[in-house]
Amino acid sequence: MKEKQEKKQQVLRFIVPREVEEAGKNVRSFLREDHGISRSLLVELKHVKGIRLNGAPTYLDHPLREGDTIELYLPEEESENIIPEPVSFCITYEDEDILVVNKAPNLCVHPTMLYPSRTLANGVVYHWRKQGISRKFRPVNRLDKDTSGLVLIAKSQYSHQQLAAVQRQNGIARYYEALVHGQVEKEEGTIDAPIARKADSLMERIVHESGQWARTHYNVLGRYKEFTHLRLKLDTGRTHQIRVHMSHIGHPLLGDDLYGGEKMLIARQALHARTLTFPHPRHKSDLLFEAPLPEDMSALLSSSQKL
């Protein structure tokens, strides 16, 4: 009989610097003001005695001294309504706080009504369970089912809070590569156009004055006889943003038949999340990840005639 695998509890550890003691801060103010710990997480940890000062349970109003060690024992979590399943996916990077995945095309990030299982979320939860880790699935960015590339996943409530705060301040930079119909006239440009849900569709979006503000920057990487190869950067993260914006200016993505593209050269929208940069949620150092173009886009570039 197999022994039950021991679950690994996640611990956040902070050392108190001299300026914190000089400022007369207590545990609460240090964690809230210096490390961005949310009030809700502190309340949750307080109830389960998950806050320790120099190895012993402590109170939030306890004064701090230079060199004190504060540890937060994050509670175990279960991913709601996500069944662990062995789904293959490519790990670009993983540590105790984050997971970066290079998602293949034709894979949903999260279960939906049309795709209730065999998603990236199912595979990630399964991957963690095998390590004795119990976590909620918290994607920081999401990609459409047929869009390939980098997906950032937070492994705790703390890391998700930190990354969400950075994201609100445009501190997470996302760069994509796309192949679009026709010849884009300018070498670089910006599309600043609001995006709204199309009235008679659950899925399709359109550019409309009633929509949410959306901005996409692009520059040309290469020109081919039948398409243009673009690099794009998002200032906002609206559903289908790149697909809608490129269609709006008359250059839909190859393979994107929802927004006017054709599938003659490639079987899915030719869009890949190539580069992702952001500060690490715990130690704040800048991270940069890149995912090479998938085989279908790479093969099309290699076999096409350049201008």
From residue 103, give the alpha-carbon distance in Å to each of 24, 118, 119, 148, 225: 47, 13, 10, 5, 29
**Distance of alpha carbon 239 from the chain centroid:** 14
Greatest alpha-carbon span in the chain: 69
The pairs formed by 265-269 with CB atoms below 8 angstroms and a separation of 24 or more are 265/179, 265/226, 265/227, 265/300, 266/179, 266/296, 266/297, 266/300, 267/296, 268/105, 268/106, 268/146, 268/296, 269/144, 269/146, 269/147, 269/243
**Catalytic entry in 144, 257, 286, 296:** 144
From residue 80, give the alpha-carbon distance in Å to each of 83, 105, 132, 138, 303: 8, 25, 17, 11, 45
CA distance 20 to 34: 9
- In this structure, what are the phi and psi dihedrals at residue 280, rounded to the nearest 5 degrees? -60, 135
From residue 297, give the alpha-carbon distance in Å to each of 92, 229, 306: 19, 10, 15
Torsion of CA 66, 69, 75, 76, to 10 degrees: 140
| Residue 129: both structure tokens together | 């369970």
144 catalytically annotated: yes
Half-sphere exposure of 299 (CA within 13 A, CB side): 6
Supply the residues annotated as catalytic: 144
